[in-house]
Chain A
Amino acid sequence: DQQVKQNSPSLSVQEGRISILNCDYTNSMFDYFLWYKKYPAEGPTFLISISSIKDKNEDGRFTVFLNKSAKHLSLHIVPSQPGDSAVYFCAASASGGTSYDKVIFGPGTSLSVIP
């Protein structure tokens, strides 16, 4: 039961261009979405988040877009840099009123930024 899907296991982008990573979810109760970045031999690190009351959140080169009706979100990185090469996990949680206990991760997309 894949509640959070990242259908592209890998993506290659030229340095300086835009990277677009996509994520789809099935659980309509999800109301908080996050992107984590993971380098080899390290734990995931938080990148950016968005709550369901917004449709866009921007932080420097990173922008997350949320389309609730399509149950789709995307992460845009522009301009892409070689140091952005990592696995990107989309994650989602449902507040259930008070708790964000259980964050569900997608399978990840491996981004390679080519110099």
Chain B
Amino acid sequence: EPEVTQTPSHQVTQMGQEVILRCVPISNHLYFYWYRQILGQKVEFLVSFYNNEISEKSEIFDDQFSVERPDGSNFTLKIRSTKLEDSAMYFCASSEEDGTPLHFGNGTRLTVT
């Protein structure tokens, strides 16, 4: 069964550094998402992306965050200058059509020191 893949599985970075989290959504999916889960807390929506543009974003997704689909297969989340509170598990997800369930990757654990 096709799956969403995320790399790396664990990223450690120093505060203030830029990080790029990478995702390869399922190939025929058109809608892409990033969610995050801070340890012990709930899964939070960050951003959705469709037709090469952001369709919706949460208040968490401030100017430090950006997303990009640089080619036909990758979907990236960039955090420009990481903060300690950005430490979380970041999940990429994709869906085939509007309104269909999301398929999640296994996540990237980001640790900011």
Task: Give the B-binding residues of A (Cβ under 8 A).
Answer: 32, 34, 36, 41-46, 49, 89, 95, 98-108
Q: B58 contacts which chain A residues (CB < 8 A)?
A: 102
Q: B31 contacts which chain A residues (CB < 8 A)?
A: 101
Is chain B's binding surface mostly helix, strand, loop or mixed? strand
Task: Give the A-binding residues of B (Cβ under 8 A).
Answer: 4, 6, 31, 33, 35, 41-45, 48, 50, 55-56, 58, 91, 93, 98-107
CA distance A32 to B98 in the complex (A): 12
Known pairs A43-B105, A107-B41; A98 contacts B48 (CB<8 A): no
Is chain A's binding surface mostly helix, strand, loop or mixed? loop
Nearest CB to that of B4 among chain A residues? Answer: A43
Q: Is the CB of A100 within 8 A of B107?
A: no
CA distance A34 to B99 in the complex (A): 11
Q: Is the CB of A46 within 8 A of B43?
A: no
Candidate in B43, B44, B55, B56 with the most chain A CB atoms within 10 angstroms: B43
Q: A43 contacts which chain B residues (CB < 8 A)?
A: 4, 6, 91, 93, 104-107
